[in-house]
């Protein structure tokens, strides 16, 4: 029996699918540079939620393994559906940029800032995800309960499909800490809007590519072709939907809810507030330790000095705290000069 010829519209749709794939790859890849550059420019990670970064590391590690397995094996058999070179390049690049951003965090990390912590909830979720992954591998290898070859005998689930679903689950929750952080601060300062715009653009073209691939499946074409996929990549479709949904919330926060709170003055208020809170909660620390943050961050140092110069009442309050702590009390002028040299 001869194979029917491939229709001309199939070739055009396949080209359009590849074009959408490269656009989504470019957009999603560029989105990582916005936050990376913003952290470098500000020499600070204030406003950037570390739970989001932790989820990203775990999610893209899972997604990279998922894409490698699907691309270099028959994705139809192992359950990933069609995996393209753009999927593989994107996940690998995303994992690499996430690692670079983590290095940035170690450089700009402020241990005195309580907001720059990874929550216990985040740690527990990530731990459970990877324990589940290794547990599935043990089950497949030793109990043969799950069979990774879905076309043969076995339950239609395996550790590779698990990784794809884990990435989807992580995307469902990873944006929530950043949304909550923006809500608490009433500002999106420190969160790259460039990242959001590229992400929603990439998510839209990701969905477009999957829609085209879905239309190329045999039961939509009306006849079987050599290259027609038999399965769709549901994990990729869900990732695109989640990106569009949560990015829409970020855009609403940035341009509508907190549009007046994203100036440098708003950021300065955040810094000053945390500076004052830190001094209040750490009365027994050495003076030099109290101002390490300012010394290591020129911008923060200038903000604090400007505040001390303009607000006499705040100066007196800060000075009074040290008068009760130091045996050899300095005069107010001497203490003020000491703090002004920060």
Residues 223 and 288 in one domain: no
Neighbours of 294 (CB within 10 A): 19
Assess whether pLDDT exceeds 60 at residue 304.
no
- pTM recorded for the entire structure: 0.68
DSSP string, 81-115: ----HHHHHHHHHHHHHHHHHHHHHHHH--TT-TT
Residues 6+ positions from 262 with CB-CB distance below 8 Å:
187, 188, 189, 254
Q: What is the mean pLDDT of residues 151-157?
A: 54
How many separate domains does the chain show? 2
Q: What is the SS3 assignment for 317?
A: helix
For tokens 């996929």, the residue is: 229
Tell me which DSSP letter residue 112 carries: T
State the burial class of residue 86 (Cβ atoms within 10 Å of its Cβ: 0-12, 13-18, 19+).
Answer: buried
Residues 292 and 200 in one domain: no
Residues 104 and 156 in one domain: yes
Is residue 102 included in any domain, yes or no? yes
Is residue 113 included in any domain, yes or no? yes
Q: Are 232 and 217 in contact (CB under 8 A)?
A: yes
Give the least confident one: 8-12, 28-32, 266-270, 295-299.
295-299
State the burial class of residue 299 (Cβ atoms within 10 Å of its Cβ: 0-12, 13-18, 19+).
Answer: middle
Residues 106 and 142 in one domain: yes
Residues 250 and 300 in one domain: no
Is residue 226 included in any domain, yes or no? yes
Higher-confidence position of 159 and 309: 159
Residues 21 and 117 in one domain: yes
Residues 122 and 42 in one domain: yes
Segments forming the whole domain that contains residue 300? 265-340
Residues 22 and 135 in one domain: yes
Residues 222 and 194 in one domain: yes
Q: What is the SS3 assignment for 245?
A: helix
Residues 290 and 210 in one domain: no
Model confidence pLDDT, tens digit, residues 85-127: 988 999 999 999 999 999 999 999 888 877 788 999 999 999 9
Model confidence pLDDT, tens digit, residues 235-274: 888 889 999 999 999 999 999 898 887 665 555 555 555 4
Is residue 293 included in any domain, yes or no? yes
Is residue 319 included in any domain, yes or no? yes
Tell me which DSSP letter residue 116 carries: S
CA distances from 172 to 49, 59, 166, 254 (A): 16, 11, 10, 20
Higher-confidence position of 274 and 82: 82
């Amino acid at each position: 029996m001869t194979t029917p010829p491939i229709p001309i519209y199939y070739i055009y749709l396949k080209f359009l699918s590849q074009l959408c794939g490269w656009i989504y790859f470019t957009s999603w890849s560029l989105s990582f540079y916005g936050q990376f550059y913003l952290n470098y420019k500000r020499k600070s990670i204030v406003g950037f939620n570390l739970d989001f970064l932790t989820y990203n590391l775990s999610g893209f590690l899972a997604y990279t393994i998922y894409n490698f397995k699907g691309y270099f094996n028959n994705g139809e058999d192992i359950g990933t559906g069609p995996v393209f070179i753009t999927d593989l390049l994107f996940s690998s690049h995303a994992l690499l940029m996430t690692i670079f951003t983590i290095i940035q965090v170690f450089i700009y990390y402020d241990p005195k800032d309580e907001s720059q912590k990874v929550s216990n909830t985040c740690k527990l979720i990530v731990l459970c995800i990877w324990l589940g992954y290794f547990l599935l591998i043990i089950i497949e290898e030793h109990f043969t309960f799950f069979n990774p070859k879905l076309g043969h005998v076995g339950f239609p689930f395996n550790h590779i499909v698990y990784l794809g679903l884990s990435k989807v689950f992580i995307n469902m929750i990873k944006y929530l800490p950043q949304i909550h952080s923006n809500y608490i601060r009433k500002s999106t300062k420190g969160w790259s809007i460039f990242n959001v715009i590229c992400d929603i653009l990439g998510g839209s073209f990701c969905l477009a590519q999957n829609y085209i691939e879905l239309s190329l499946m045999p039961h939509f074409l009306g006849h079987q072709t050599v290259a027609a996929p038999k399965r769709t990549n549901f994990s990729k479709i869900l990732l695109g939907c989640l990106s569009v949904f949560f990015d829409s919330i970020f855009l609403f926060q940035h341009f509508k809810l907190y549009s007046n709170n994203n100036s440098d003055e708003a950021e300065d208020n955040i810094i000053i507030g945390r500076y004052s809170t830190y001094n209040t909660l750490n009365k027994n620390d050495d003076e030099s330790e109290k101002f390490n943050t300012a010394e290591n961050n020129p911008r923060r140092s200038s903000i604090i000095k400007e505040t001390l110069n303009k607000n006499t009442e705040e100066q007196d309050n800060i000075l009074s705290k040290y008068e009760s702590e130091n045996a050899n009390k300095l005069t107010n002028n001497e203490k003020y000069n000491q703090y002004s040299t920060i």
